[in-house]
Amino acid sequence: MTTTSVGTVVTELETDVVVSAVRRLATDVVELTLAAPDGRPLAPWTPGAHVDLLLGDDLVRQYSLCSSPADPTAYRVAVLRTPDSRGGSIAVHALAEGAPLRIRGPRNNFALLSAPRYAFVAGGIGITPLLPMIEEAEAAGADWHLFYGGRSRASMAYLAELEKYAGCVTLVPQDEAGMLDLDTIVGTPDPGRLVYCCGPEPLLNAVEERCASWPHGSLHLERFAAKEVEREGEDETFEIVLQRSGLTLTVAPDATVFQTMRDAGVSVLGSCLEGICGTCETGVLEGEVDHRDSVLDPDEQAEMDCMMVCVSRCRGDRLVLDA
């Protein structure tokens, strides 16, 4: 008996929007307001969410939403121009008011969990996902503080918007005050306080290092580049059982779980294919995952109940997936 293709296709929502406003926020930082051409509500989201901007053939970039979920008619993103990047920020900076644009999402790998106390740590343009978090933490009456570092005041976006939170915000422009003093900010574990950090890789790694002694689940990071993962030996062949589809497939050493599923006609979402964006998260019902992504934190990885199939593999010889 041959397997009949079930034909179920799962995709992320793609929406055609227009750039309804362009604002220069700081040196090399531009903010785009995106709205539906007919002004209809966009899909709801929660703080920490991001969207893909489909900027051209094979040019897809993720940017955090930094507006308020209270406004269903517009999304805002703020983008730092980085000439040495892979081209996304230059394409964004070329967009003018009225430009049509296709977006995908929103999705959220950096969700704000309810907590009585928060430390928000931003490096440069990493301020963006933290803005709606701050709005929500403030509304909920949480005890929060933002530590915001940047090269100089002129390079730091949203300083005017943060003025109303004076007393809860510590600005650390490097040219005036040096680097963020992470030993003071997160050097001592504070049970019950959650740490949300977004910024350049060295900042994330430094915060991660200091939070190693905090209670599990305290630290939440958003990465824009894939984390370096240490590999042990050669990749091996393993078997995946896709429970819902009723298929058993073999993942070759040079293939990914994602590609193996796609080749078999199984619908699985994918976007960055580098283990950053979280799109291809798939439920794991049995087996031990060799996690290689930058999305799940160590606790989430240890739970072994889901995996990013674009990069992660299997520690044994078999995984049973909810797919």
Partner 1 sequence: MSHDPAAHTTAPARRCPDVPHHAWYAAATTEEVGRTPLARRVLGTPVALYRTSDGAAVALEDRCAHRPVPLSDGRVDGDDIVAAYTGFRYAPDGRCVGVPTQVQVPFGAAVRCFPVHDDGSFVWVWAGDPRLAALRPAPDTSWLRDPAWSTFGGAWETGASIALLLDNFADITHVAHVDPEIAPLALGAAPPPLQVTVTETTMRFARDYPPAPLADWNAQVLELPADAAHAQREEGEFVAPGLWVDRWHVYVEGHGDADGTHSFVFTHALTPVDERTTRHVWRVSRNFTPSAAAEGTLAPIFERYYGRVRDVLETMQRVVDVDGPRPEVRVAADAAASAVRRIVERLVAEETGTR
What is the binding site for partner 1 (CB under 8 A)? 6-13, 41, 43-46, 49, 68-72, 105-108, 111-115, 135-136, 139-141, 194, 217, 243-245, 267, 269, 283, 300, 322
Smallest gap from residue 26 Cβ to partner 1 (A): 26
Looking at beta carbons only, is 87 or 265 nearer to partner 1? 265
Residues pairing with 61 in the sheet: 53
Nearer of residues 132 and 150 to partner 1, judged by Cβ: 132
* E-strand stretches of 155-300: 169-173, 193-198, 219-222, 238-242, 247-251, 281-286, 289-290
In the bound state with partner 1, the residue whose beta carbon lies nearer, of 48 and 123, is 48
Closest separation in Å from C-beta 235 to partner 1: 29
Q: Which is nearer to partner 1, 75 or 238 (CB)?
A: 75
CA 8, distance to chain mean position in Å, is: 27
Considering the complex, what minimum distance in angstroms separates the CB of residue 260 from partner 1? Answer: 17
Between residues 6 and 179, which has the closer beta carbon with respect to partner 1?
6
CB of 3 to partner 1, least distance (A): 11
Contact yes or no for 49/106 (Cβ under 8 A)? yes
Q: How far is the CB of 5 from partner 1 (least distance, A)?
A: 8
Shortest distance, position 252 Cβ to partner 1, whole Å: 25
Q: Residue 179's closest CA among 223, 128, 121?
A: 121
User: DSSP of 107-158, one letter per residue?
Assistant: EESS-----SEEEEEEEGGGGTTHHHHHHHHHHTT-EEEEEEEES-GGG-TT
Q: Taking the complex as a whole, how short is the minimal distance between the CB of residue 322 and partner 1, in angstroms?
A: 7
DSSP H helices in 48-129: 88-93
Backbone angles phi, psi at 51, to 5 degrees: -125, 155
In the complex with partner 1, the residue whose CB is nearer, 26 or 240, is 240
27/68 with CB nearer partner 1: 68
Q: How does DSSP assign 228-253, residue by residue?
A: P----S----EEEEETTTTEEEEE-T
Least Å from the CB of residue 9 to partner 1:
5
Beta pairing class for 238-242 and 169-173: unpaired
Strand partners, 86: none
Sign of CA dihedral 96, 97, 102, 107: positive
Question: Quick one: CA torsion of 226, 231, 237, 243, rounded to 10 degrees?
Answer: -50
Tokens 């078997």 sit at which residue? 239
Residue (14 or 288) nearer to partner 1, CB: 14
